[in-house]
Amino acid sequence: MPDYLQGEVLLVDKPLEWTSFDVVNKLRGTLQHLKFEDGSRPYKKIKVGHAGTLDPLATGLLIVCTGKATKSIDSLMGLEKEYTGTVTLGQTTPSYDAETTVDRTFDISHITTELIHQAAQTFVGETEQLPPAHSAVIIQGERAYEKARRGEEVKVTPRKINIQSFEITAIAMPVVSFRVVCSKGTYIRSLANDFGKALNSGAYLSSLIRTCIGDFKLSNAHSVEHYVEAIRSLQK
């Protein structure tokens, strides 16, 4: 039987349009509301947290830790990550993904298969990346996306990242499919935007799945509903 107080590491397949906090809040709330026959509520004050945010429009692997396992969150967040997804060429959005509407269009008639593969390779290695204005980066005590949504100017600072691999897996213009292996702190949305610039065009991230975090794999993850039912079964 799982011991959520001593600590469990849960591999969750995050649903589309859920925030990472939505997942944590659902699992924490389910645990905190458990009430056994003797009236006890052992999980009333349990700690629950996630080891690395996934954007609402991204799906895939989200690591959630409970109880004493929350102490390992920092080390888990530092693990290398793998993503698959698609980039749509010839258009950009303010958020660098499909959360916001297209604000600019670009010519893509000059973009060839060879150029796409060449551009991808220029991002491999250690580099500096600017986070999106629509991100959870804290600026003067406030999330950057909160300022961006109010139409305020957002000044973000570059951060060092490492792209281990940027593989183009399919091309069906204007959509390009990819696989990326990268370090902590990498914004795939920013990578998509920069990729468009490298092609002398524009691009935005149209879909994203996180498939691995270190040795933890999406293939071993379960739905939120699976964990909710497993938790509720403890009081039966």
The half-sphere exposure of 149 on its side-chain side, counting CA atoms within 13 A, is 10
| Residue with the two structure tokens 């149209």 | 206
Q: Is 233 helix (H, G, I), strand (E, B) or coil?
A: helix
What distance in Å separates the CA atoms of residue 206 and residue 98, rounded to the nearest whole number?
Answer: 6
Q: Is 8 helix (H, G, I), strand (E, B) or coil?
A: coil
Question: Of 14, 25, 26, 90, which is closest to residue 57 (Cα–Cα)?
Answer: 14
Say which of 13, 55, 97, 194 is annotated catalytic.
Answer: 55
| Residue with the two structure tokens 């996306």 | 145
Assigned token pair, 97: 């993904």
Q: Tell me, yes or no, if 97 is annotated catalytic.
A: no
Sign of CA dihedral 12, 18, 21, 23: negative
Residues marked as catalytic: 55
